Amino acid sequence: MWSRITLEAHVRGNDVTNEFTATEVYVKTKGHWELLNLTFSNVRNTHQIEH
């Protein structure tokens, strides 16, 4: 599963915004879903992600 996340925070008196993508990989084992991998990546302003 892929998600785009915008983190808004107040740091040292300044409002800051950082964009990330989160990629989650699951496998179904014995009838239960299990998380295999969770990756966060910083999105730079140098490109656009198409949905």
Pairing of strands 2-11, 32-42: unpaired
Q: Give the helix, strand, coil percentages of the chain, each rounded to 5.
A: 0, 75, 25
Contact 6/18 with Cβ under 8 angstroms? yes
pLDDT at 43: 82
* Domains of the chain, residue spans: 2-42
The more confidently predicted of residues 26 and 51 is 26
What is the per-residue pLDDT for 46? 65
Q: For 21-49, how does the pLDDT look when each residue is reduced to its tens digit (9 = 90+)?
A: 999 999 999 999 999 999 999 887 666 66
pLDDT, average across residues 3-29: 94
Whole-angstrom distance, CA of residue 30 vs CA of residue 27: 10
